[in-house]
Amino acid sequence: MYTDKIKQKSNTATIVELFMMFLLLLVVIVVITVVCMTTREQSLDAGELTEAVICAENTAEVTKYQTDAAEAAGMLEQMEGVTDVEVSGENTVTARQDDYLIEVTLAPEEGGSGTYVDETITIYDASAADAAKGNASAAGSLYELHTGSYISKEGER
């Protein structure tokens, strides 16, 4: 009888220990799953940001040395995959490239020996801009690039 009680206590202790180990295993699995999901989400965000940066860099290369929005629009139309190029306002050009809405703002400043053009290129998610009914700034930008170029009166850059 005494040995039966010891066996019963031993069996109960083993069952409780196994149950606790099972719970610990479940917690570890949940933590690992959450970490993997978070990592995947951050990886996708980083990929989207990288594409937006490349889009801004390519736009800056194409539109550099432009002092007029119409000239910049003409250069943007030559870029691969660019559609819906519009001059909006005196110094702003908008265009679409793949999944992005590109906004280029030129601010030329005449100087004694030439013109300095301060250029701001803002990249938006096109689907978010469409959801905001064309108000891209309400959608929030993915990336913004500020650059400038100097054009001398002799045409040197």
For residue 154, pLDDT over 80 is answered with no
Report how many domains make up the chain: 1
Q: What is the pLDDT of residues 19-42, one digit of tens each?
A: 999 999 999 999 999 999 999 999
pLDDT value, residue 4: 63
Whether residue 59 lies inside any domain: the answer is yes
**Least confident range of 18-27, 58-67, 72-81, 133-142:** 133-142
For residues 8-13, give the mean pLDDT.
77
pLDDT value, residue 53: 92
Residue with tokens 């550099």: 64
Closest CA to 55 of 118, 139, 141: 141
**By residue range, what is the domain housing residue 45?**
2-152
For residues 71-91, give the mean pLDDT.
85
pLDDT value, residue 108: 87
pLDDT value, residue 71: 86
Whether residue 157 lies inside any domain: the answer is no
Q: What is the pLDDT of residues 90-148, one digit of tens each?
A: 889 989 888 889 999 998 888 878 888 889 999 998 877 666 555 656 567 889 999 98
Q: How many CB atoms lie within 10 A of CB 130?
A: 14
